[in-house]
Every structure is written in structure tokens, then in C-alpha cells.
Amino acid sequence: MLLVLEQCLNGLQFGLLLFLLAAGLTLVFGIMDLVNLAHGSLYMVGAYFAATFTAWTGSFVAGAVLALGAALIVGMAVEVIAMRRLYGRDHLDQVLGTFGLILFFNELVRIVWGPAGLSLPLPAWLSAWIEILPGLDYPTYRIAIIVTALAVALLLYLLVMRTRLGMLIRAGASNREMTGALGVNISLLYTLVFGLGAALAALAGLMQAPIQTVQIGMGENILFLAFVVIIIGGIGSIRGAFIAAIMVGLIDTLGRAFLPDLMGLIMSSRGASQVAPALSSMLIYVLMMIVLVVRPAGLFPVSIK
Amino acid sequence: MTRVLLATTALALLAATPALAQQKTVKIGFVSTFSGPTAVIGNDMRNSFELALDHLGRKMGGLPVEVVYEDDQQKPEVGVQKSQKLVESDKVNFVIGYIWSNVLLASLKPVIDSQTFLISANAGPHQIAGAQCSPYFFSTSWQNDQTPQAMGHYMNQKDVKTLYLLGPNYAAGKDMLGGVTSTYKGKVVGEDLTKWPDQLDFSAELSKVRRARPEAAFVFYPGAAGVQFLTQYAQAGLKGQIPLYTAFTIDAITLPLQKELALGVPGAQQWVNDLPNDANKKFVADFRAKHKAYPSFYGAQSYDAANLVSSAVVAVNGDLARKDAMRAEMRKANYASVRGPYKYGNNHFPIQNFYLQDVVKDADGNLTLKTVATIVENNQDRFHNECPMSW
């Protein structure tokens, strides 16, 4: 029973991380109608910034804060320099353009930081573990990820639903021409939204960095999952992204954890250990297919512009 | 008349030059991973291979050496395409390299079907040691099962009674876990194969290890995955609680990132940078002088591959058409291997020693690997009986 609880925490943590990445992606896709494959590059850049600034300042938290600021600036610069050229164009042009950005960022990182990758060590107070329940120790850092991501989700909700900026974002999403006609500076709004998305991706990247290594191309695999999340959740919907991300995180983790044992009930344990990993890596795509069949626009479709 | 003669001679010379030029180089295709997260391994192999060529004066049997490097992107479908290109359009005499067993398995057939020698400088899937063995295949590394088998012996010596196995779900991962269970005498209480190469978070598996409470865990996570695994093992509070035994998880490339996390974690290997033979001393010293880092076992095997090929080309005096004679020479392993002398089995895999290695600090405070003991001597892989080839 404790194992199930522990695996649920693992799944929740993974799902929340996916949410941070998917939130930025869905904002940009839903509001700006822009397919941004380079979102994973911003995740990578966030991790590299955090590793560098942490080494400079000697503090993980200070490094993380500086990295977020830097990623926000990089995101806004990318929007002004590159993304503006892509609005209103065909999605295929956007895919091509942002794929080019992936190559650009990978090469840039190779030139600046070298090909070997970096490590981002955790401070002692985060690399311990806490006894949540008797007999259930859980790594402090993973709890910190859960708490941070939940706080960010709440802030994002408040930002979009309760502030003037959020109102403009929602207005821009439902009718950009009309919003522009009412005197709102749409291009500044887009720059801000893109920067916000970049900062969210960077936050996911820098939180993942101490668990994994900081390396070139680290954002590319996880970006697939982020796309799955926004497809399941409904493109443009932050609430959908939140719920879908947690579903994907839980299904992926619980599948990996328990499928070998379940398969073991119906076949030899040797066979189960071969089949289960393949099957568990399919689960989230099966989920996506079911959602697409039942609700083609996702679980929480955003009303049409 | 003289003019006509001269002209004809000149024409004949012109026509003959390209053909002569083709015969006058040894052309080698080198397939490894040069992009993506594991490009550091490919670069290390290339650096060591280039160093070997420098030591050979960039000539083999009097012929200059020409190398074509190809990036397999760690993908079998790309590897087979690049290997085909090397034999069909570049018409290389040898294909060397291959980090990943799944890439090698996909690439083997087009190369050996064209009767080109393929020398694996790392991957050693059991299929090629057994039923799929070929007169055109040689290994300068090991068969996948051998290293974990040595680790299994060592865990028996340490009297480990219960064990949990973890590795990636691809050809080599399955071989590694199969290898360790073939020699380990205790009880395997759990086993997980993780998605490869894109699963980098092992939280679910580590929770299972913690609940299973084994006396030890055996892992195989090559490249950057080894860094991620050791980091997460420590974060999960398992380091120090459940001792780790490893194969191909801690090496000269990953150590600068694993740092203290790798201290006290034993591994097995057929080559360690401190092996006291002259060829190895020269290789390690020159590599360190040039690249300011220790060479890895991937590099050592690539260095050996260059020397193995050179021995064959020298034996036929550069007549690269005499493939049978080159094969006969390579079977002798008549070159100064940096692991020390070894023999080839009937399936062209080395019969060699495996050493226990540990992480220590060198004189400058850098972490490096050190030979602690010899675990098995003259070890031959367990699939050679399935290979029909004999000589």
C-alpha cells in the first residue's frame, strides 16, 4: 500500500513537471496560434543557465532565480527576433522555422558550454529525504518540485483569471483583431506571453536538472510528452493541461511500476519483464488515442475564436 | 611517332592514376555516435582512434590511411544506412566502431555481405557471438555478457544473497542482465528494464528497489544515463543503504559528472587506464597530454581496433585484396593491445581477463579508475559453442 502511495507521488511529481512545460506550450499555441517546437530548447537553456548561475553564486535558489530571469529575456528576444516572422503563416512554416531554432540552440549551447554536459548539484538541505508517513521516506527535492509546481499552477490561474493582464491574454485568445482594435498593444502582449512560456519551460528544465544531467537535446524527448499533454487537455486550455499532465504522469509512472507484476500473473516472469516495459511506454499514447476518439478537441476545449 | 607514343603514354597514365590512387590508401569507415547526448562517447572513440593513427605514422603496411567518420545518432535505422553508404559508395576496406548493440545488430548484415571486415570497438551482442558469427566480424571489446558475468562472480565472493537488477530495455541491457544472472548464485528479487534511451527518471524503479529491500543492486546504465542513475540513487537515499554493483556505468567520461557519487561503487572491465603494459602506458600518457583527460574504455577499444587492422594490413604488405590472409593474421591478435595480450575465440571475440575497478583520486585530485583485482582470467563468452565457425 505504501508502495502504491509512493508511486502515486512519483507520478504526481512527473506530471507536475510536464505541466510546467505544457502550460507554456499551450499558452503560445492557444493564444498566439503558434506551433513552437523550440519550446524544449528553452527548457534546456533554463537548465544550462541554472547550472552556470548556481556555480557562480554558490546558491541553488539564487541560481534558479537568475536563470528564470535570463530565460524570460531569452524568450522575449526569440519572440522579437524570430517568432514575429512566423505569425499568421502556415503551421508547416512554423514547424520548419522552430525546428531550425532547435538546431540553432543545440549548436549555440555546444559552442558556449561544450559538448560534455554539466551537473547541477543540490544543496544538502534539498538532497535529504523526509518521512511523510511511518515507513514512507520520500526525497525532499521531489517534494520541493511538487510544492513549487502547484504554487506556480495557482499563480498562473490567478494571473490569467484575476488580473488585467490575464484578461487581455484571454481577450487576445478569443479575438485578436477586436482586442487590437480596442487599443491593446497585441505585439507587446505576445512578447510577454512568449516570455512567460519560456520562463515556465526554463523552470521545468532547471528543476529537472539536478535529477538528470544538463545536456544538449535534453528538452526534445520530454517535448513529445508535453504535446501529448496539450492534445489530451485541449489546446490553449491551462486547466486542461494541468489535469492531462497529472493523468499522463500517473499513468506513465504507475504503468512502469506495476505492469511487470500484473503481466507476471498471466505469463512467465521472464516474459513479463520483456513485454511490460514496451507496453507501459505505450500507455499514454493509448490514452491520447482514446481521448481523441471520444473528444477530438481534448478534454477541455477552448471556445472557438 | 614519338609524339603519338608520348601522348598515348600520358593518356594511359591519366587513366591509370585513379585506379592506382584507390589501391594506395587503406580506407576505413568509422561509425559511432557524434550527435546528441552520447556524442561525448563517439568523440572519445574518435580521439583515441586518431591517436592510434598518429602512433602508426598515419600509415598501415606502407599505405596512407583515410578515415570516413559517420554519425549513427544512436539509432539503428541511421546506423544501417551509414554502414551501407560506407561499403557501397565509399568502398571502404574496414568498418570500425559501434557503441550500441542495437545499432550494430542492424548494421552487421550489409557490411559482412559485402565481404568487408567489421571491427566492433564496443558493442558485443550475443547473437553475433553465437549463431550470427561471421568470418568478416571481429571484436576488440567483449561479448556483452562477459563483463556482468565477472560482476556476478565478484558478488558471489562478497556473499551477496539477494539482488535487484536494473538496466535499459534494448539488446545490450537484456544481455547484461542475462549475463549477471548466469554467474550470480544468490536470489534475484526483482528486475526492471527501463525505456531506452529516453527514460531518464528512475523514480518508479527506485521506489520498487527500496521496497524490495535487496542486499545489493546491479545496474547497467551506459553514458549520461549512468550519471542520472547515480544522482537519483543518492537522492532517493539508497546510496549507502543498498550497495551498487555496476557494469559500464562508471567510466572516464561519466566520472567528471558523477564525482563523489561514484566513490566506493565497484565495476568490472577488461581494460583500466592503469594496466601496467607498455602499450597502455604510452596510450594513456599521450592521450592525457593531448586531451587533458583520461581515456575511456571505449577509447582503448578503438585504439586497439586501429592496431588490429594495421597488423592485418602489414601482414599482407598492403595488398588489401588478400582478405583470407588478413583474417588469418587478425585471428592471432598479433599486436600490442592496451589491455595486454589476449587470444581470439572461434567466434572472433577476445578471450581475456576481467578486472575489478574502483574510483580513486589521482595526484592532482581528479577522480579516476584504478585496477583493484583480477576477477576472472582468460574468460571466454558463453555463446561461442553456438557459433559454427572453427579454425
pLDDT digits (tens, 9 = 90+) for A128-179: 888 888 888 899 999 999 999 999 999 999 998 899 988 888 887 778 788 8
Q: Does the pLDDT of residue B17 top 80, yes or no? A: no
How high is the pLDDT of residue B21?
Answer: 42
Beta-carbon pairs below 8 A across chains A and B: 104
A10-27 per-residue burial string, b: 16 or more CB within 10 A, e: under 16: bbbbbbbbbbbbbbbbbb
Report the C-alpha gap between A198 and A191 in whole angstroms.
10
Cα distances (angstroms) measured from residue A303 to each of A236, A271, A300, B312: 10, 47, 9, 71
Cα distances (angstroms) measured from residue A117 to each of A50, B33, B48, B159, B248: 13, 15, 20, 37, 19
The secondary structure of B218-280 as a DSSP string is EE---THHHHHHHHHHHHTT-TTTS-EEEESSS-TTTHHHHGGGGTT--EEES--TT---HHH
In sequence order, the 6+-apart residues with CB closer than 8 A to the CB of B329 are B311, B312, B315, B316
Q: Name the residue ranges covered by the structural domains of chain B.
A: 10-142+275-351+382-386, 146-269
Residue % of chain B over a pLDDT of 70: 94
Q: Measured between CB atoms, does B236 come within 8 Å of chain A?
A: yes
Contact A221 B203 (CB under 8 A): no
How high is the pLDDT of residue A305?
Answer: 43
How high is the pLDDT of residue A179?
Answer: 84
> Which of A130, A215, A283 is the best substitution to test chain B (most B C-beta atoms within 10 A)?
A215
Q: How far is A252 from chain B (nearest CA, A)?
A: 10
Report the C-alpha gap between B282 and B288 in whole angstroms.
10
Name beta bridge partners: B29.
Answer: B68, B95
3-state secondary structure of A132: strand
Q: Which of A141, A216, A273 sits opposite B37 (nearest CB)?
A: A216
How high is the pLDDT of residue A303?
Answer: 62
Is residue B143 within 8 A of residue B381, CB to CB? The reply is yes
How high is the pLDDT of residue A293?
Answer: 95
Edge-to-edge, what's the strand order for the sheet holding B63-71? Answer: B59-60, B63-71, B26-32, B94-97, B117-120, B137-139
Predicted TM-score (pTM) of this structure: 0.88
In sequence order, the 6+-apart residues with CB closer than 8 A to the CB of A202 are A42, A43, A45, A46, A47, A49, A50, A67, A68, A70, A71, A72, A75
Instruction: Write the single-letter amino acid at B364.
Output: D
Contact B237 A137 (CB under 8 A): yes
**Does the domain spanning B10-142+275-351+382-386 belong to CATH 3.40.50.2300?**
yes
How high is the pLDDT of residue B7?
Answer: 56
pLDDT-derived band at A118, boundaries 50, 70, 90: confident
How high is the pLDDT of residue B10?
Answer: 53
A247-270 per-residue burial string, b: 16 or more CB within 10 A, e: under 16: bbbbbbbbbbbbbbeebbeeeeee
3-state secondary structure of B373: strand
Chain A, 207 to 226: residues with Cβ < 8 Å from chain B are 208, 210-213, 215-218, 221
Question: Greatest CA span in chain A, whole angstroms?
Answer: 68
Rounded to an integer, the average pLDDT of B235-242 is 90
Phi-psi region of B145 (alpha: psi -120 to 50; beta: other; left: phi over 0): alpha
Chain B residues in contact with A260 by the CB 8 A cut-off are: 192
Q: What radius of gyration do chain A's Cα atoms show?
A: 20
Q: Measured between CB atoms, does A119 come within 8 Å of chain B?
A: yes
State the virtual CA torsion across B267, B272, B276, B277 in degrees, nearest 10: 130
Q: Which of A59-73, A107-121, A152-166 has the highest mean pLDDT?
A: A59-73
In sequence order, the 6+-apart residues with CB closer than 8 A to the CB of A191 are A76, A79, A80
Report the first-to-last Cα separation within chain B, whole angstroms.
58
pLDDT-derived band at B382, boundaries 50, 70, 90: very high
Rounded to an integer, the average pLDDT of A35-50 is 95
3-state helix, strand, coil in chain B (%, to 5): 45, 20, 35
Chain A residues in contact with B237 by the CB 8 A cut-off are: 128-129, 137, 139
How high is the pLDDT of residue A135?
Answer: 81
pLDDT tens digit string along B163-213?
999 999 999 999 999 999 999 999 999 999 998 888 888 999 999 999 999
Report the C-alpha gap between B56 and A279 in whole angstroms.
50
Contact A212 B237 (CB under 8 A): no
> Which of B45, B177, B201, B230 is the best substitution to test chain A (most A C-beta atoms within 10 A)?
B201
Q: Which of B201, B204, B207 sits opposite A211 (nearest CB)?
A: B201
In sequence order, the 6+-apart residues with CB closer than 8 A to the CB of B289 are none
The secondary structure of B100-145 as a DSSP string is -HHHHHHHHHHHHHTT-EEEESS---HHHHTTT--TTEEESS--TT
Contact B205 A117 (CB under 8 A): no
The angle formed by the CA atoms of residues B324, B145 and B281, to the nearest 5 degrees, is: 70
Topology annotation, domain B146-269: Rossmann fold (3.40.50)
Nearest CA in chain A to B253: A116
pLDDT-derived band at B137, boundaries 50, 70, 90: very high
Q: Does the pLDDT of residue B97 top 60, yes or no? A: yes
In sequence order, the 6+-apart residues with CB closer than 8 A to the CB of A246 are A11, A12, A15, A16, A19
> Which of B47, B192, B231 is the best substitution to test chain A (most A C-beta atoms within 10 A)?
B231
Contact B231 A210 (CB under 8 A): yes
Q: Which of B43, B211, B236 sits opposite A139 (nearest CB)?
A: B236
pLDDT tens digit string along B47-96?
999 999 999 999 999 999 999 999 999 999 999 999 999 999 999 999 99
How high is the pLDDT of residue B2?
Answer: 53
3-state secondary structure of B379: strand
Report the C-alpha gap between B204 and B147 in whole angstroms.
27
Cis peptide before B197 (omega within 30 of 0): yes
What are the grid coordinates assigned to B367, written together?
A: 577522480
The secondary structure of A180-218 as a DSSP string is HHTT--HHHHHHHHHHHHHHHHHHHHHHHTTTS-B-TTH
Q: Measured between CB atoms, does B81 come within 8 Å of chain A?
A: no
Instruction: Write the single-letter amino acid at B220.
Output: F
Is residue B325 within 8 A of residue B71, CB to CB? The reply is no
Q: How far is B64 from chain A (nearest CA, A)?
A: 31
Is residue B258 within 8 A of residue B226, CB to CB? The reply is yes
Q: How far is B59 from chain A (nearest CA, A)?
A: 30
